[in-house]
Amino acid sequence: MSAAPLLFPNLGAEEGAGWRRMERHPRVRDVARLWGALFPADARIASGADALDRALAAVFAAEAERPALDLCAPGRALVPWLATEEAAALARREGVPLASPDPALVKTVHDKAFALERARARGLLPPEIAETAFALAPAELADPDTVRCRVEAAVARWPAPLGERFALKPRLGTSGRGRLMGRAGRLDPAALRGALARLRMRGGCVVEPWLARSADLSVQLLVAGPAEVRVLGTFAQVLTVAGVPLGHRGRIGADCAAESTSPWDGELRSAALALARDAAAAGFRGPCGVDAFVFTGAEGHERLRPVVELNARFTTGTVAAGWIARALRARVLRPGSAFYLGADPATFAGTRIELLAAPCASALFSDG
């Protein structure tokens, strides 16, 4: 029997069965193909999904047969993008172990409320968030009028500028989908009624001010044990105006690690390691990412929110880290090289890898 892993690219599975509606979207398919090509050449997609496109791995011909990262060589097991009950059931049908912790545990640390609570306990949140943001459970989202009064009463106690724009964000969500915006301290009653069922299905919501962002950042990590948490790299995230991720850019540091080039990198890494260690203490193992952003405070100065959420799964940042590892081994990237991996920012379509300071090419490949 082959020892090759089975891959289950369930991108967007935070949204339950709705992830199937997204899997044919061009950007989702591009990410799934890039992710699948990080695994050994004999890896295959588990039943019910597209076949792998090995032409991507062949970009680095000498690398096509080997995994990009150690975590991409789990042996004979089912590897999901996100560990869910659906993935666990598929692993049982295939007769292989699930290469992740129990889905219920993953759901706990993947919940935005976990990141909010742990970051607040560790003093990692700026006052704008630490003194305002709160989580609501599904059971607290039953009656629209009760929810609206509760949220608006809480927002009324915030410093006035923070209540001008605020968001109800699904506790289990991805790519900014499903949030409900409030303005001038108020929620639109009709919009709230339409959103509550969706928020209940997505684990409840987090209520927080909508801050003026000037940069989006992330840290990618691998959790191997309670005392074994490793940073894979830090990245500047490229997003659409609506917050949909397009890709990651940065520079290779002197130690051959990916850096976001942000002046906040040290604080970013420290906060992400602390949060990932809390997830490890809860039993989580595997790749994960911590999202962060820089915002303009009331005093007009830029500040960092080092923890927005913990993505307890593979991420597009994990994919970027894997392709960067390959490029470094192939000597295509070297210290000082800049890079971008993601959709073409001009068209929001197609896969594009740019090595902006590499000696061999300015565009490694563009797959539209």
The CATH number of residue 264's host domain is: 3.30.470
Asked if 275 contacts 307 with a C-beta cutoff of 8 angstroms, the reply is: yes
The DSSP bridge pattern shows strands 205-209 and 228-239 to be: unpaired
Same domain, 220 and 361: yes
Structure confidence at residue 362 as a pLDDT band (50, 70, 90): very low
Question: What secondary structure letter does DSSP report for 164?
Answer: S
| pLDDT of residue 16 exceeding 90 | no
* Total domains in the fold of the chain: 3
Residue 277 located in a structural domain: yes
- Of 209, 243, 265, the one marking the end of a domain is 209
Same domain, 158 and 93: no
| pLDDT of residue 175 exceeding 60 | yes
Residue 304 located in a structural domain: yes
Same domain, 201 and 222: no
Look up the domain containing 331 and give its range.
213-367
The pLDDT tens digits for 217-240 are 999 999 998 889 999 999 999 987
pLDDT given at position 2: 61
What average pLDDT does this structure show over 19-31? 81
Residue 200 located in a structural domain: yes
Same domain, 239 and 331: yes
Measured distance CA(112)–CA(120) in Å, rounded: 12
Same domain, 85 and 183: no
The pLDDT tens digits for 26-56 are 778 888 888 988 998 888 888 655 556 665 5
Span between the terminal Cα atoms of the chain, in Å: 36
Same domain, 88 and 199: no
Same domain, 205 and 228: no
Residue 1 located in a structural domain: no
Same domain, 157 and 201: yes
Between 199 and 356, the more confident residue is 199
What average pLDDT does this structure show over 344-363? 50
Between 341 and 211, the more confident residue is 211
pLDDT given at position 185: 97
The residue type found at 167 is A
The pLDDT tens digits for 134-159 are 999 999 999 999 999 999 999 999 99
Q: How many of the other CB atoms lie within 10 Å of CB of 343?
A: 23
The CATH number of whichever domain residue 199 belongs to comes to 3.30.1490
| pLDDT of residue 365 exceeding 50 | no
pTM above 0.95, yes or no: no
Same domain, 201 and 218: no
Same domain, 83 and 134: no
Same domain, 53 and 80: yes
The residue type found at 8 is F
DSSP, residue by residue, 60-88: GGGGTTS-SSGGG---SSEEESS--HHHH
Same domain, 261 and 232: yes
pLDDT given at position 54: 61
Q: What is the mean pLDDT of the chain?
A: 88
Measured distance CA(50)–CA(153) in Å, rounded: 48
7-31 burial string, b = 16+ CB within 10 Å, else e?
bbbbbbbbbeeebeebbeeebbbbb
